[in-house]
Amino acid sequence: MFFKKKINDTPRNIPGHIAIIMDGNGRWAKNKGLPRKFGHIEGAKKFKEIARYCNKIGVKYLTVYAFSTENWKRPQEEIDGIMNLLRDYLKDSTNFKGENIKLRFIGDKSALDEDIISLMEKSEAESNDATGMTACLALNYGGRDEIKNAVKQIIDDGIKSENITEELISSYLYTHDFPDPDLIIRPSGEFRLSNFLTYQSAYSEFYFDNVLWPDFSTKDLDRAIDEYNHRNRRFGGV
């Protein structure tokens, strides 16, 4: 494991916004001699478990990297399996029902099938009145693509260069109504962002873990938060 400390009983500062790169589904399945789709099925179950726990402990925003703009390069059979899994997830009326969790989706919807888009919009509308945690799924999302689209929209809106600020750019991002992530977690032993929340992660704390996503537990999340509490976030200051 990386960056792990013993959890104690002292009060913890819970990150307001946690972002997770849900990595390792395929390797998890391979290690068990199963087709990759079974890893994605277990990964989806794990998202629900971790989202419920985050809501319980007081996290305000949870953003997960579910499908990137680069994931279209994978075998078509795997892509179809992921999209069908997404359909099943969105059709499941028990998802967070009665748990006061708001669902949001970010990314370029234009490449997704119409029925998936409709299901996403329905899920957002049905949970819109929730006042608890916001669970955000990044689908067909890429950080650079997000910035590119923001720049295009700024140009289309005729905004003069002298009026462009960091705050203005942020207002054109998919996450315009979210705070930047406080803590970004990546399981699976990889040490990179993979084009996730590129603009928003400038001052995020990072936590890397060897555990593959389907095996990532609430105890692993507790360790990440415990490590976060040992960090000194200076935001460029002393």
- Catalytic residue IDs: 23, 71
Report whether 109 contacts 140 (CB < 8 A): yes
Residue 44: Cβ within 10 Å count:
19
Amino acid identity, residue 207?
Y
The full length of the chain comes to 238
Copy the structure tokens of residue 98.
């009665």
| Rounded CA Rg of the chain | 18
CA distances from 67 to 141, 154, 167, 209 (A): 7, 26, 27, 20
Amino acid identity, residue 68?
S
CA distances from 52 to 17, 106, 229 (A): 14, 20, 21
Chain CA centroid to CA 63, Å: 3
